[in-house]
Structure 1
Amino acid sequence: MWKLWSLDYLKTKLDIKSTINLFLIPAIALTGDKVIDYIFPYKSLILKCFIDSATHFIIASLSWNYVGNLSIYKRTHLFAVFMCGLLASLIDIDHFIAVGTMNLQVATTLPHRPFLHCTTVFSAIAVLLALLSIKMHSIPYLKLSLIITTAIWTHHWRDGYRRGIWICPIGSTPPYWYFLYLVGLVALPLSLHFVLRFTSELINKAKNQGLQPVYFI
């Protein structure tokens, strides 16, 4: 009886933490956006870019913390949370690559979006990794595909409310309402958490049934 009560209490506690985590995402986004609007152009461009990158990092980290909270390995999970945030914040490095200089003023005034802001390419890579994970019965591959998806889509979705999503080579979607942007930041980790849970169960079921994985190399 005590054991059952403890498990129920633990589950409730985890659900509360997950819910707080989930709604911290749009709260951080809103705070970061408002701070940037307030300080720019009154403060330095370096400070604006730092806050922008930090906001990308925190949103992606919190998103993966929600998506991947099925993990029983705490250290591995925290490392994945950090790497997801780092990947999301490093996307903007393509501005410097595109202009061929470290000059911040030049890098932030590009007339077009650089290559790492193309949503199509990364989405295709993530889908291929997910399919590969199912074929090879590999949950690490599955998580890698979803970490990439989380990092890329949180960054691109945040940029998209101002400029739209770049679906290369077709073009860009129109910018969308700020409210829709905040709702999307909640819907994304919810959806990816379901994908991770559902696909992990499929992979484990295939393993339990003794189905042989398919290796391509």
Structure 2
Amino acid sequence: MATETEKTFALLQTFSTLSIISSLGLGLFCFIADRLFQFPFIQQNDWLRALSDNAVHGIIGMWSWAIVIGLKKKNDFGEIILAGFLASVIDVDHFLLAGSLSLKDALNLPHRPFFHCSTLIPVVVLTLKFIMHLFRLKDSWCFLPWMLFISWTSHHVRDGIRHGLWICPFGKTSPLPYWLYVTITASLPHLCSFIMYLTGTREMMSIKHGIHIDV
């Protein structure tokens, strides 16, 4: 078992100066990317607009997870890429709902596709944790539910500035204020790290803090 001093140190590292600066950089990136996204040559081209929007989702997912794990090992970059993939792959449901590979059809749907229901996030995260516990998967994969949580949440919050959050079956919220979107996105890695700390996610504590915590 880790001592209380080690656990306290791990928690303090979650909110280290470097991680806070990285979060401020993430917020600044969101602001700059959204300003660039408004350029006419992007807005007037459906494919360029869609690819740019999806790329920003992916970068936010990668940046967010990089803050969580601290990028201390070479194999961390594999996790970063996976986080970006999870953050961007959600948009495939546009094509699934359209039943077509046509971008025009995917952008003109009768309603929002299923993966954009924010209620799905806690359901999938908890289900994944249960499955991993049930099948006694290795501790090295215990980060996966939290990676999915931060990647999907960042995607939904960014979409929320245009469409609000879809909390099925209760309906959707009003579009999120821009300042709230930036604030949530920048603070999300710290929220995720704190929850991981509270739930005793050992692999992440080992990678991020260099402390092996047995719980």
Q: TM-score, normalised by structure 2?
A: 0.78
Aligned partner of 2:181 in structure 1 is: 181
Seq. identity, %? 30
Aligned partner of 1:35 in structure 2 is: 36
Unaligned runs of 5+ in 2: 1-11, 204-212
Counterparts in 2 of 1:103 and 1:130: CA distance versus 1, 3 Å: same
Alignment pair present for 1:45 and 2:46: yes
- After the TM superposition, which of the residue ranges 40-49 and 169-178 deviates more from structure 2? 40-49
Unaligned runs of 5+ in 1: 1-10, 207-217
| Equivalent-residue separation in structure 2 for 1:119 and 1:160 (angstroms) | 10
Aligned partner of 1:140 in structure 2 is: 140
| Equivalent-residue separation in structure 2 for 1:152 and 1:46 (angstroms) | 22
SS at match of 1:23: helix
Q: Shift of the alpha carbon at 1:76?
A: 3.0
SS at match of 2:149: helix
Q: Shift of the alpha carbon at 1:41?
A: 6.7
How big is each residue's C-alpha offset from its partner over 1:112-163, in whole Å with a ceiling of 9 and x where there is no partner?
1101111212321213434666786964343111000011000000001111
What are the residue-to-residue correspondences of 1:60-209 with 2, within 5 Å? Answer: 60-69=61-70, 74-130=73-129, 139-200=139-200, 204-206=213-215
2:120 maps to a residue whose letter is V
Q: Compute the RMSD of aligned alpha carbons.
A: 2.8
- After the TM superposition, which of the residue ranges 28-37 and 44-53 deviates more from structure 2? 28-37
Aligned partner of 2:207 in structure 1 is: none
8 A contact 2:157–2:165 mirrored in 1: yes
8 A contact 1:57–1:89 mirrored in 2: yes
| Equivalent-residue separation in structure 2 for 1:75 and 1:21 (angstroms) | 19
SS at match of 2:80: helix
Aligned partner of 1:8 in structure 2 is: none
How big is each residue's C-alpha offset from its partner over 1:61-91, in whole Å with a ceiling of 9 and x where there is no partner?
000011122x75x233211111010111111
Counterparts in 2 of 1:147 and 1:41: CA distance versus 1, 3 Å: closer
Counterparts in 2 of 1:39 and 1:131: CA distance versus 1, 3 Å: same
Aligned partner of 2:209 in structure 1 is: none
Counterparts in 2 of 1:56 and 1:25: CA distance versus 1, 3 Å: same
8 A contact 1:142–1:196 mirrored in 2: no
Aligned partner of 1:18 in structure 2 is: 19
The structure, 1 or 2, with the larger RCO (C-alpha pairs under 8 Å, 6+ apart) is 2
Q: TM-score, normalised by structure 1?
A: 0.77
